[in-house]
């Protein structure tokens, strides 16, 4: 039953991406050659944080992050561990991360991970990770303890190079106007 629900959800997600996010040229170019494989999680206490950590641990070359709110110590530690084993990790965070005394942005910077602040928008509300140009983690799930333990949020892990490429282009767009964070 879960596979049927996952398949229906994947079809709906891809349809929404094509309708809402893609230009007519991208749709005409047959951007999606197949329906992506997906895992879907819900919080509170639905295993979202552990699923993210597993994906980070499986990363081999690159993790790109966009985060609005990022206070999850386990996720931050997993990113530092990936960085130490040679995975390129780059983060773009919302400007709200600047004013706080000590945040995950500061933690990542102190570990040698480049962090950028997207202050062009009222809120840089993205919550994504692009892993090895093949997997995308997205959804309403903020990378926080509250998201895992208290909030009603969702998380999708999408396995698709085509979808990862769309998110990568958006990441590069935001990186282009973001400022390097130094603390």
Both tokens of residue 60?
């081999």
**Cα four-point dihedral sign 31, 158, 112, 100:** positive
CA–CA separation, 95 and 124 (whole Å):
8
Domains in the chain, ordered, with CATH?
Answer: 35-180 (3.30.870.10)
Name the strand (E) or helix (H) holding 41.
strand 37-43
pLDDT at 183: 74
CA triple 181-162-157, angle to 5 deg: 70
pLDDT at 69: 87
CA triple 14-30-33, angle to 5 deg: 65
pLDDT tens digit at each of 183 positions of the chain? 444 445 455 545 544 444 444 444 444 345 566 788 999 999 999 999 999 999 999 999 999 999 998 989 999 999 999 999 999 999 999 998 876 667 788 899 999 999 999 999 999 999 999 999 999 999 999 999 999 999 999 999 999 999 999 999 999 999 999 999 987
Is residue 94 helix, strand or coil?
Answer: strand
**Alpha-helix runs per DSSP H in 99-152:** 104-110, 145-149
Its pTM stands at 0.81
pLDDT at 30: 54
Q: Which residues are catalytic, by number?
A: 125, 127, 132
Please state the separation of Cα 115 from the chain's center in Å.
14
How many other CB atoms are found less than 10 A from the CB of residue 168?
A: 16
């Amino acid at each position: 039953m879960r596979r049927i629900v996952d398949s229906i959800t994947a079809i709906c997600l891809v349809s929404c991406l094509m309708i809402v996010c893609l230009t007519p040229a991208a749709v005409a170019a047959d951007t999606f050659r197949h329906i992506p494989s997906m895992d879907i999680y819900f919080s509170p206490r639905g295993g979202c944080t552990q699923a993210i950590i597993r994906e980070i641990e499986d990363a081999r070359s690159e993790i790109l992050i966009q985060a609005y709110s990022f206070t999850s110590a386990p996720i931050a530690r997993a990113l530092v561990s990936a960085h130490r084993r040679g995975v390129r990790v780059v983060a773009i965070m919302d400007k709200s991360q600047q004013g706080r005394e000590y945040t995950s942005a500061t933690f990542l910077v102190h570990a040698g991970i480049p962090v950028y602040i997207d202050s062009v928008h009222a809120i840089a509300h993205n919550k994504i990770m692009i892993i090895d140009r093949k997997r995308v983690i997205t959804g309403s799930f903020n990378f926080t303890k509250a998201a895992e333990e208290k909030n009603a949020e969702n998380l999708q892990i999408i396995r698709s190079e085509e979808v990862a490429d769309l998110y990568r282009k958006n990441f590069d767009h935001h990186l282009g106007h973001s400022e390097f964070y130094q603390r």
